[in-house]
Amino acid sequence: MAIPFMHFSDYRTQLIICEVRNISHTIKIRCTNVNWFNELFTKYTSNSSASISVRGGGQLARYYVTASYIRDNGNLYTNPDTDYSTNIHVSRYNFRSNVDMNVTKFTVLSLEIGANMTDAHQPRPITSSYNYQSQASKIFEMCYAQDPVTTPVRVPIGYDENGDVEWGWGASLSTNTANPAERLFGSGYNNTYMTQIMSQMILKQDLGAIAKGLKFQASFAYDYNATSIQSRGKYSSKYAINGINDETGLYKIIQTKVGDDFLNYAYLNSGNRSVEFKTQMNYDRVFNSVHRVGAMAMYYQRSYNNLAAGSSIYALPYRKQGIAARATYSYYDRYFLEFNMGYNGSENFRKGHRFGFFPAGAVGYLISNEPFWKNISPVINYLKFRTSIGLVGADTVPSGRYAYLSTWGTGIGGHYFGSTATYFNGIGEAQAGVSDLTWEKGLKKDVGVEIKFFKSALSFDLDYFHEHRWDILIQRTSVPGISGLNQQPYANMGVMANHGFEGTGEFNSHIGPVKYKIYGNYSFARNKILEKDEAPTDPWRMRTGHPLNQCFGLIAKGLFEDQDDIDLSPKQQFGTVRPGDVKYLDYNGDGVVDSHDEVAIGYSSVPEINYGFGTQFNWNGFDLGVFFRGQAHVSYYLGGSFFPFAHGVGQGNLFEKAMDRWSVDNQNLDAFYPRLSSTTSSNNQKTSTRTIYNGSLIRLSDVEFGYTFTGRMVKSWGCKALRAYFVGNNLWMHSDWKMWDPETGSNDGSRYPLTRKLNIGLKMIF
Amino acid sequence: MKKYLYIIVTIFLAIGCSFLDKQPDDMKTDDMVWSSRTEVLKYLTNCYAALPMDNMQQGDPWLGCSDECDIPWAVYPTYGINLGNWEPSTNFYVKWNIYYKAIRATFVLENNIGRCSELSQDLKDRYIGETMFLRGYYYFLLLRQYGPVVLIKSEMSNSTDFGNLARSPFDECADYVVELMDNAEKLLPLSYESEPESKGRATVVSCRAVKEMMLLLEASPQWNGNPEYSTFVNADGTHLASANYDVSKWQKAAEAAKKVIDLASDPNAHLGLYTNADMNSSSFNPYKSYYDLFNNGWNDEIIFGSIDQGTGTWDSRGSRYSWMIHTIPTGINCMGAVGPTLRLADAFYMENGRAIDDPASGYVERGFSTSNGTHFNPNNYDESTDAGRKGLIGDLKTLDAWGHSKGDWNMFCNREARFYASINYCHRIQLPYSDDAAIRNKYNSTGQQDGYGRVELYYGGISNTGENLNYPMTGMLAQKRVVPCDFYNNTMPGKYVSIYIRYAQVLLDYIEALNEYDPGNADIKTYWDLIRKRAGLPSIFETYPGIKGDKDQQREYILRERQVELNFEGDRFYTCHRRWLCTTEDKGGTTDDRTYGDGGRVWGFSVRAGNPSANNFKSTDFYTRTAFETRVFKKAYYLFPIPQTEIDKSPALVQNPWW
C-alpha cells in the first residue's frame, strides 16, 4: 500500500504554480483542483476471518460449539498526525453453544446459546448523528458534492519554529461548504460496541405412550441486543485564502472556522430484548404405510421491549399473541392435503377488533408416484402439481402504535412570551384514534408445478400467484387541510392486487471429468392499487389503478426551438418559458400544460422483474463459479444535483454531461440537458419522461475461482485442506443509464454505490 | 404422562386473554388535559404557535418578492418566484394548512375550557378572548394571502365532508373577522404592563388593530369593486369579490383605526410611538428612536408581535440572529446580501423633508462628500487619534452619532434619520463590530484600513470579492433590525420582537383611509405630522403645501410615507402591488423611472464595475445606476395559489383567478 498522505503534498505545488503566474487574486484561489475521492479513499484494503467448530456427545447429551472471527477494514485513508485511525474497522466475534440432554427416555431438553460481539470504529463526519452506518456514505456524499475548485485540501497558514510551513485545513471563502478531508481526518471517531445474545430453551416430550407419533414441545426464547456508541468528535480549524499581500507576497489567510483543540465526548446506548414463549403439539404417523397423517397445534406469545425508547408509548412492550394449527394428510405420498389456521391478536386494535382468523388450505398431486408413471419416469422422474389458497393478515399501522387511541402531542408547537422571552410548550391532539380499526387481510392463491427430468439432472420449479389485499391499514390522504386535523387519521381503506410468476431451474452434468451446473431464477410481480383514499382528480392522474410507487409525470416532447415554437405551443404554466426549455405534451388537450397533464410514465421504482443465472465447474480440485443477476421494469426519478446548480451557482458539482446542453451557441434540440438556469427551473425540472431513468441492469455479480490442495504437504502442516481462491464482485455491469449505478436508485448518484471488490484469499481447514 | 397434559392446559389458560391489554397508562387523555390549568395553557400556546416568526431574509415572500428589496441567493424561494417559476404545486410559503390547524385548535379550546375547574372564570374569559383574537388574525392572514376562504365557524366533526365546503365571499369573511375582534376585545386587557410574563398575548389594542387592518383591506381597490374579480365565482355562481365600489368602506376602516388611536390617550393602554426621549425635548434623537424601536424588546409602539430568543447557541438564537447573518457584510461569520433597491433608497427624504427629485432638496447624485454630516460627531472627538476614533465608534454604537461621514457618496448625504436606520451603504462605518481597531481593520483591504471598519461593497472589496454569491446585487444592504453589538465575537445581547403590528402602521392606515373619503380632514395632518416628527422631519404640508386636500396627490405621498416608514417590514409587498393594484409602466429609461410595481426591471449599483484588484473606496463606476434583473409579475400573483393538493381533495374549492 502506498504511504498515505503523500497526496497532500500536491497542494503545495499547485499553489506555487499560481503564485508564479502572478495573476489577480480572485483567480489564484481557483488554482485548486481537487479530486476528493483520491484524497480520501484508498483502492486496497484487507479482510480476514477464522472459524472453529466442535461437535460431539453421546447417548445422554450432545453438544455443538462454534466460534468465529471476522475483521473487515474500510477503504479510507488514515491521518498519520492523529493517534487514532480514520478508517473503518469492524471486528465481529461469534460464539454458539448447543447442548441437548436426554432427561428421560422420552424427554429431551435443549439449551441453545449464541452470542456475537461487534466492535466497529468509524470516522464521524456528521457530529450530530450517531448512526454508524451512515458515516462512510456521508463521506462519499461530501466528496460527491464538493466541487474541486473552491476549497483547497490544505493551505499554508504560517511557519513553525523550524521554519517549516504549517498547514491548516482549507476552506472556501463562502461560508458553508464542507471540506471533506477535514471532515474525515479532522473529525474524530466513533467506537461502536454491539452485543447480541440469543438463547433458547426447548423441551421436547415424546408422547408416544398416549398416542403413537404425538410429540409435545415447549420453548422459551430470550434475545438481547445492546449497542453502545462512544463518540469522540470535533471540528478542526479551517482557513481560506483571501488574496495575496502585495507587500510581502504572502497569502492573506483568514480563519473561517475556529476548531476544537480536543475531541469532545458523547455516548449513546440503545438496546432491546424480546421474550418469546411457544408450546406446540405435533402428531405425525403413517397408517398402513399408506395414510400419512400430521397435525400441529401451537400457542405463541411474544413481547419485545425497546430499552431506549424515546417516549413512554414506545417503551411499552410490543406484544403479539396467537394460536396456529395445521393438519396434513397424504395418501400413498401421491395426494396431499393440508389445512392451516391462525388466530392472531394484535395490540394495535381495540378489544373486540383485536383478533383475526386466518385459514389456508392446499392440495398437491405427485403424479410421478402413480404406478402408471413407471414408463415415463426415465424421462420425467418427478412431477408434482400443487395449489393453495389462504387468508393472511397484517397489523402494521403505517407509523406509531395503538392506532385506536387518540393521543396528545406537542400540537402545532410552542411559543415565546413575556419580556424575557420565555418558551411555553404547546400541546395538541396528535393521532386521531379510530376505534374500529382491524386486521388487514389478503387472499393468496398459488398454482405450481415441480418437474425433474433425467434422474433429476434437469429440474424446474414454477409458480403462479395472485393476491388480493383489502382493509389495508393506511393513513388517509383525502381529508382537506381545512379540517384542521394535526394528523390524517388511519383507516382500513386500501385495496391492492398483486400477481406474478416465479421459477427456478437447474441443470447438472459433466463433460468428461469436468462437472458443471447451470442454474437460474426469475421472478415477475406486478401489483395494482385498487383503493388508497385518493382525492378524486383527473382519471389519468389517479395513482389508483397503477402499481405502488409508479412514476408519474409529464410527457416531454423535446425542446423549444425558438420563441415562435413557444407561442404556437400550448401554454406551459411553469414559469417563464424560453427557447431551449422542455416542451411538454398537453395531454388533456385544454390548451395549457399544467399539472393536470401528468400521466403514468415508466415503471414503478420497485423492479417488477428480478433474475439471476450462473454456472459452476469443478475439475480436479479446481472450481469456477460465475453468477449474473439483473433487474428490469423499473424507473427511478432524477433530481437533486442531477440538475446543474441545484445548490446554487458556485456550489456543488456538475456532471460532464452538462456540456451536452442546449444553449444559444449550441441550439441542439436533442441535447441531453435543456437550457440550464442558475436556479431551480420549475419548467425544466418538472417530473417528466426526461427526468426519470430506466433502472434495468444486468450485472456480473460474482466470480469465484479456486483450487483446493489436499496433498501430503498440506496434511503435513496439520491441515485437512488448503484452498486458494479469487473472488470478484460486481466486475461488470450493463445498463442503459450510464451516469451512475442504477441499482442505487439514487436521483443524482450521490448514494454510496455497490463497490467492485477483488479478493484473493487462502482458507485452511483443520 | 397425564400431568404433562395438565401442565399444557394450564399454560394455555394462564396466559389467557389479558396479554394484549397493555396500553399506555400514563398517556395524556382528553380529561387530563382539560382538567389541568397548565395543560390548558399549553393548549392555548399551541394556538399561538402558527404565528409566522420573521424569516424575511429567506423563507418569507415579503421582501424578496417586493420592489423594495433583492435577495440574491438562488436557493431561497423568492429567487425562483421572481423568475416566474411559480404554480399551484410550488411549495412556496404555504400557510393554508397550518392556519386552519390553529383555527380548529381555537374552537377546541373554547369548547372544552369550561371543563377546567382549576382556572378562574376571569382567566377562562381571557383565554377565550385570546383564541377569538387568534382565529380572527389567522383568518385575516389567510384572506390577505389567499383571498376568500372557506369560513369555518365552529368545531366540525372529523367525519364532515370538508371537500364539499365552498369559499365564502370576501366581505362575509371580513365581517366574521370584525365580529371576532369586537367580541374578543370585551374579554381582554388593555395591556400586559403589569403582567410582563404575558407580553405577546392578545389585547384590546391588538383586536382593534386587526379589525382596522381587515376593514382597510376590504376597502382597498383589490377587494372594493375590483372589475378584474368580476368572474371570481364559486361553482354555484356565488361572487367571491364585491362587484361595486363602496366608498363607505373607507369610512368604516378609518373609524376602526381611530378606535385604536383613541386608546393612545389611555395610560393603561401603553400605546404610542416609540422615542428615546420626549419628542419636544432637546435630547430627542429621531435616528435612535426609529432604530431602537426594533431592537430593544417590547415597547409601547408594538401592538402585536412575537418575542424571539436573543442569546444562546447558533441554532437557538432565533430569527433575528439569522437576519443579521444575512445582512451584516460578508466577512467573518456573515454573508450579508439582503439588498435594498434604489427605488427604496430614493424614496427616503432629505433631512430637510424634501424628496430627492425636488430641486430645493439640496440632493447631489454623484461625487464624494468632503465633510461629515451634522450629527456624525456630536462629541467632537479628534478623529486623527486612536482614542478619538474609538470614542466616535462608541457614539455610533450607542446611536448618539449618526449620518454620513466624510468620503461617503453624496447620494447618501444629508438624508433623513430613517435612511440611516434602514440602509447600509458602501463606505459606511459598521455598527455590529467591536470597537477594537485591529478587528475593524480586518474588514478593510490594505490601504483602506482607518480603524473604522467601513464596508467595501464595490467589486473586489472584502464584502464583494466575486468569489461567492454573498454580496448585495443592489450594492446596498439592509441596516434595519441589525443590532449594534460585537458580532465578530458572536455576542448579541437582548431579546428581539418580530413585530406584526405597530402603532405607526395604524396611523398610516388611518390617514390613508381618511384621504379616500374625506381628504380635507384635519386628522390627516395631525397624525401624519406625528410620524414625520418622530422621523425628525417637518410636516409634509409645510414642505409641500400644494398637496393639501388633493386626494390623489395626498395618496401618492401617503403611500410614499408608508414605503419609507414601514420599509423592510413586509408591508410593501401587500400595500403596493396587491392591495392598491399599483404598477407604473416602464418607459425604458436609464434609471428607475417607476414608483410602483413588483415586476419589471430592478435597479441597484454596478456591483461588477471596474477591475476588482484595482477598485477601492474612490471608485466611482460602482455608483452607476444599473438594472440588474427583470422580474416577472403576473396578475395571478395578486393572491397566492391555493395548494394544488388541496384543490385536488376539495371538489368545491375553486382556485384563485389566473392560477
pLDDT digits (tens, 9 = 90+) for A29-48: 435 678 888 888 888 888 88
Indicate the residue of A345, A427, A575 with minimum beta-carbon distance to B84: A575
Nearest-neighbour CA in chain B from A285: distance (Å): 20
Residue of A nearest to B160 (CA): A483
pLDDT of A8:
41
Nearest-neighbour CA in chain A from B533: distance (Å): 28
Domain ranges of chain B: 31-52+95-263+642-648
Nearest-neighbour CA in chain A from B285: distance (Å): 25
- Band of pLDDT at residue B74, cut at 50, 70 and 90: confident
What mean pLDDT do residues B137-158 have?
A: 96
Residue of A nearest to B94 (CA): A481
Question: Rounded distance, CA A594 to CA A688, Å?
Answer: 12
Tell me which of A165-179, A545-559, B141-155, B230-244 is least confident. A165-179
- Band of pLDDT at residue A176, cut at 50, 70 and 90: low
| CB-based contacts of B239, cutoff 8 Å, min separation 6 | B169, B230, B232, B233
Mean of all residue pLDDT scores within chain B: 91
**B301 interfaces chain A, CB cutoff of 8 Å:** no
Give the A window 400-429 contacts with B, CB below 8 Å: 402, 405-408, 410-429
Whether A20 shows a pLDDT value over 50: the answer reads no
**A435 interfaces chain B, CB cutoff of 8 Å:** no
pLDDT of B138:
98
CB contact under 8 A, B85 and A682: yes
Give the B window 10-49 contacts with A, CB below 8 Å: 11-12, 15, 19-24, 26-30, 33, 39, 41-43, 45-49
CB contacts of B19 in chain A (<8 Å) are 301, 319, 321, 345
What is the tens place of the pLDDT at every residue in B81-93?
998 888 888 889 9
3-state secondary structure of B115: helix
Question: Rounded distance, CA A267 to CA A321, Å?
Answer: 36
CB contacts of B201 in chain A (<8 Å) are 417
Whether B507 shows a pLDDT value over 90: the answer reads yes
DSSP A7-43: GGGHHHHHHHHHHHHT--HHHHGGG----HHHHHB-S
Please give the DSSP secondary-structure letter assigned to residue B102: H
Question: Rounded distance, CA B36 to CA A183, Å?
Answer: 49
- How far from chain centre, in Å, is Cα B510? 19
pLDDT of A317:
87
CB contact under 8 A, A647 and B75: yes
Nearest-neighbour CA in chain B from A506: distance (Å): 46
Residue of B nearest to A478 (CA): B649
What mean pLDDT do residues A133-143 have?
A: 80
CB contact under 8 A, A427 and B160: no
What mean pLDDT do residues B285-302 have?
A: 95
Helices and strands per DSSP (H, E), number in chain A: 8, 37
CB contact under 8 A, B644 and A485: no
Please give the DSSP secondary-structure letter assigned to residue B47: H
Indicate the residue of B19, B102, B646 with minimum beta-carbon distance to A301: B19
pLDDT of A12:
39
What is the tens place of the pLDDT at every residue in A651-693?
778 888 889 999 998 899 999 999 998 777 778 988 999 999 9
- Band of pLDDT at residue A131, cut at 50, 70 and 90: low
pLDDT of B25:
63
| Architecture of the domain whose range is B31-52+95-263+642-648 | Alpha Horseshoe (1.25)
> What percent of chain B has pLDDT above 90?
77
CB contacts of A205 in chain B (<8 Å) are 4
pLDDT of A713:
79
- Band of pLDDT at residue B1, cut at 50, 70 and 90: very low
CB contact under 8 A, B442 and A407: no
Whether B79 shows a pLDDT value over 80: the answer reads yes
Tell me which of B186-190, B193-197, B482-486, B554-558 is least confident. B482-486
Whether A22 shows a pLDDT value over 60: the answer reads no
Give the mutation candidate from B79, B468, B499 for the A interface (greatest A CB count, under 10 A): B468
Residue of A nearest to B44 (CA): A426
What mean pLDDT do residues A20-25 have?
A: 34
pLDDT of A166:
80
pLDDT of A5:
35
> What percent of chain B has pLDDT above 70?
94
Domain ranges of chain A: 6-268, 312-322+332-337+346-535, 550-765
Tell me which of A287-296, A466-475, B69-78, B465-474 is least confident. B465-474
Question: Rounded distance, CA B191 to CA B171, Å?
Answer: 30
Whether A98 shows a pLDDT value over 80: the answer reads yes
pLDDT of B2:
47
Give the B window 383-422 contacts with A, CB below 8 Å: none
What mean pLDDT do residues A525-550 have?
A: 90
The winner for highest mean pLDDT among A355-359, B131-135, B593-597, B612-616 is B131-135
ipTM score of complex: 0.92
Tell me which of A112-121, A217-226, A474-483 is least confident. A474-483
**B520 interfaces chain A, CB cutoff of 8 Å:** no
Which residue in this structure is represented by grid cell 396456529? A324
Residue of A nearest to B48 (CA): A415
Task: Name the residue with higher pLDDT: B348 or A1.
Answer: B348
pLDDT of B470:
86
DSSP A392-409: EEE---SSSS-TTS--EE
Whether A17 shows a pLDDT value over 90: the answer reads no
Mean of all residue pLDDT scores within chain A: 86
Question: Rounded distance, CA B178 to CA B172, Å?
Answer: 10
Indicate the residue of B11, B89, B645 with minimum beta-carbon distance to A279: B11
Beta-bridge mates of residue A618: A515, A623
What is the tens place of the pLDDT at every residue in A254-274?
777 778 888 888 888 899 999
Give the B window 135-164 contacts with A, CB below 8 Å: 150, 152, 156, 158, 160, 162-163
Nearest-neighbour CA in chain B from A345: distance (Å): 7
pLDDT of A545:
92
Report the candidate in A360, A12, A315, A7 with the shortest Cα–Cα distance to residue A157: A12
CB–CB of A68/A93 below 8 Å? Answer: yes
CB contact under 8 A, A535 and B163: yes
What mean pLDDT do residues A36-64 have?
A: 86
**A29 interfaces chain B, CB cutoff of 8 Å:** yes
pLDDT of B5:
46
CB–CB of B310/B317 below 8 Å? Answer: yes
Indicate the residue of B24, B97, B644 with minimum beta-carbon distance to A402: B24
Give the mutation candidate from A108, A214, A415 for the B interface (greatest B CB count, under 10 A): A415
Give the mutation candidate from A303, A416, A541, A643 for the B interface (greatest B CB count, under 10 A): A416
Question: A with B: how many residue pairs have Cβ under 8 Å apart?
Answer: 274
Question: Rounded distance, CA A415 to CA B207, Å?
Answer: 19
What is the tens place of the pLDDT at every residue in A599-632?
999 999 999 999 999 999 999 889 999 999 999 9
**A163 interfaces chain B, CB cutoff of 8 Å:** no
**A493 interfaces chain B, CB cutoff of 8 Å:** no
What is the tens place of the pLDDT at every residue in B182-204?
999 999 999 999 999 999 999 99
pLDDT of A46:
83
What is the tens place of the pLDDT at every residue in A716-760?
877 788 889 999 999 999 999 999 999 988 888 888 888 888 888
Task: Name the residue with higher pLDDT: A159 or A63.
Answer: A63
| CB-based contacts of B159, cutoff 8 Å, min separation 6 | none
What is the tens place of the pLDDT at every residue in B333-387?
788 999 999 999 999 999 999 999 999 999 999 999 999 999 999 999 999 999 9
What is the tens place of the pLDDT at every residue in A279-326?
999 999 999 889 999 999 999 999 999 998 877 778 888 888 999 999
In this structure, the number of other CB atoms found within 10 A of the CB of residue B270 comes to: 20
In this structure, the number of other CB atoms found within 10 A of the CB of residue B354 comes to: 19
Whether B231 shows a pLDDT value over 60: the answer reads yes
What mean pLDDT do residues A561-569 have?
A: 93
